[in-house]
Amino acid sequence: SNNYLGLATNPRLIQADIEATKKYGVGAGAVRTINGTLEIHEELERKLAKFKHTEAAIAFQSGFNCNMGAISAVMNKKDAILSDALNHASIIDGCRLSGAKIIRFNHADMNDLRAKAKEAKESGLYEKIMVITDGVFSMDGDIAKLPEIVKIAEEFDLITYVDDAHGSGVLGKGAGTTSYYGLSDKIDFQIGTLSKAIGVVGGYVAGSKDLIDWLKVRARPFLFSTSLTPGSAGACIEAINILSESTELNDKLWENGNYLKKQLKNLGFNIGNSQTPITPCIIGDETKAQQFSKELYNEGVYAKSIVFPTVPLGTARVRNMPTAAHTKEMLDTAIAAYEKVGKKLGIIK
């Protein structure tokens, strides 16, 4: 589950949702730029900016909308975008919508990024060049090399853009990949979702006040979609309050993630090179991965298979997403099922 911290069922969030709904109603009634901006939306955006260590933030209806709106609001056909080969589909679609020249660099390959940034800059063909990366890559759990990316961006005057959907609430004591590296002031666009670690729904862009002011008048999903429901905004605010008060849930998430990784690796599963609680069991064969998932379900463990084209052909896997809500007993039950099914299917000895 993407519900990393177990906040989707947290009593404080549920109560905050109820109270906001009673006060404002079940819907905002309009888009933000007409009369759909309520006090609670502005409070949420102030909380997000503080949480992400930026001047300002803007809330969208989803993380997908953030990437569709933010990229196309800033980049156009006179520009170029350097995009990691494993970036999320919403980034790919946002880049396409912008009309900018899309230049893919090999996943996490800083030599390739630098070479392509140099070529794009020296060509003189582009007014602006942006580099975009996921903060945490959702299929493998690896973390973007932001220090190297920032260094290359400074060398070639690139706009920096990080989609931290799977990093916010997880890394940097909850504040995300940019805080994990201490680079909050070096990233122009910080994108996040309110549906994963936050446990509700929605997305946001955090950055400079000038950037956010620009997005408020140019990002089409923001301009032409009804605002987040008041209840959702209230629940998101309470989630940020919880994360700001304590690292308890974040610590538990990492404890569970590290425990699951260690046990699966000891059993002989290939868990790749994940640096986060995301723990893939890489099977390889698509049919066997799907069978593995089905057999686990029969043992009482829900773990979805991920196959081509979501991941490259021959790297099919079952992706595990432990959360702070899991108990050690739950994890041990899952590990026992993995051992039983893994041996049955010949995946481990």
Residues 150 and 294 in one domain: no
Active site residue ranges: 138, 166, 196
Residues 221 and 334 in one domain: no
From the CB of residue 313, how many other CB atoms can be counted at a distance below 10 Å?
A: 10
Query: What mean pLDDT is predicted for residues 311-328?
Result: 96
Residues 302 and 235 in one domain: no
Residues 91 and 151 in one domain: yes
- Eight-state DSSP code of residue 85: T
Residues 52 and 148 in one domain: yes
Residues 110 and 239 in one domain: yes
Domain hosting 260: range is: 248-344
Q: Residue 103 in contact with residue 115, Cβ under 8 Å?
A: no
Residues 173 and 302 in one domain: no
pLDDT, tens digit, 9 for 90 and up, residues 158-171: 999 999 999 999 99
Residues 89 and 210 in one domain: yes
Pairing relation of β-strands 305-306 and 279-284? unpaired
Domain ends where: 226, 245, 264? 245
Residues 167 and 65 in one domain: yes
Domain ends where: 230, 245, 260? 245
Q: Is 40 exposed, middle or buried (0-12, 13-18, 19+ CB in 10 A)?
A: buried
The predicted pLDDT at position 102 comes to 99
Residues 241 and 252 in one domain: no
Residues 114 and 134 in one domain: yes
CATH of the domain at 312: 3.90.1150.10
Please check whether residue 2 lies inside any domain of the structure. Answer: no
The predicted pLDDT at position 128 comes to 99
Please check whether residue 349 lies inside any domain of the structure. Answer: no
The predicted pLDDT at position 212 comes to 99
pLDDT, tens digit, 9 for 90 and up, residues 16-46: 999 999 999 999 999 999 999 999 999 999 9
Q: Residue 152 in contact with residue 132, Cβ under 8 Å?
A: no
The predicted pLDDT at position 33 comes to 94
CATH of the domain at 29: 3.40.640.10
The predicted pLDDT at position 123 comes to 99
Q: Residue 91 in contact with residue 71, Cβ under 8 Å?
A: yes
pLDDT, tens digit, 9 for 90 and up, residues 144-198: 999 999 999 999 999 999 999 999 999 999 999 999 999 999 999 999 999 999 9
Query: What mean pLDDT is predicted for residues 246-258?
Result: 97
The predicted pLDDT at position 338 comes to 98
- Eight-state DSSP code of residue 318: E
The predicted pLDDT at position 29 comes to 95
The predicted pLDDT at position 233 comes to 99
Rounded alpha-carbon distances, angstroms, from residue 164 to 187, 192, 223, 251: 11, 5, 23, 19
Please check whether residue 1 lies inside any domain of the structure. Answer: no
Q: DSSP letters of 192-246?
A: EESSSTT-SS-EEEEE-HHHHHHHHHH-HHHHHSBPPPHHHHHHHHHHHHHHHH-
Please check whether residue 149 lies inside any domain of the structure. Answer: yes
Domain ends where: 245, 269, 297? 245
The predicted pLDDT at position 132 comes to 99
Query: What mean pLDDT is predicted for residues 127-136?
Result: 99
pLDDT, tens digit, 9 for 90 and up, residues 81-127: 999 999 999 999 999 999 999 999 999 999 999 999 999 999 999 99
The predicted pLDDT at position 225 comes to 96
Nearest-angstrom CA–CA distance, 48 and 51: 5
The predicted pLDDT at position 116 comes to 99
Q: How many domains does the chain have?
A: 2
pLDDT, tens digit, 9 for 90 and up, residues 201-211: 999 999 999 99
Q: Is 98 helix (H, G, I), strand (E, B) or coil?
A: helix
Residues 116 and 241 in one domain: yes
Nearest-angstrom CA–CA distance, 316 and 310: 9
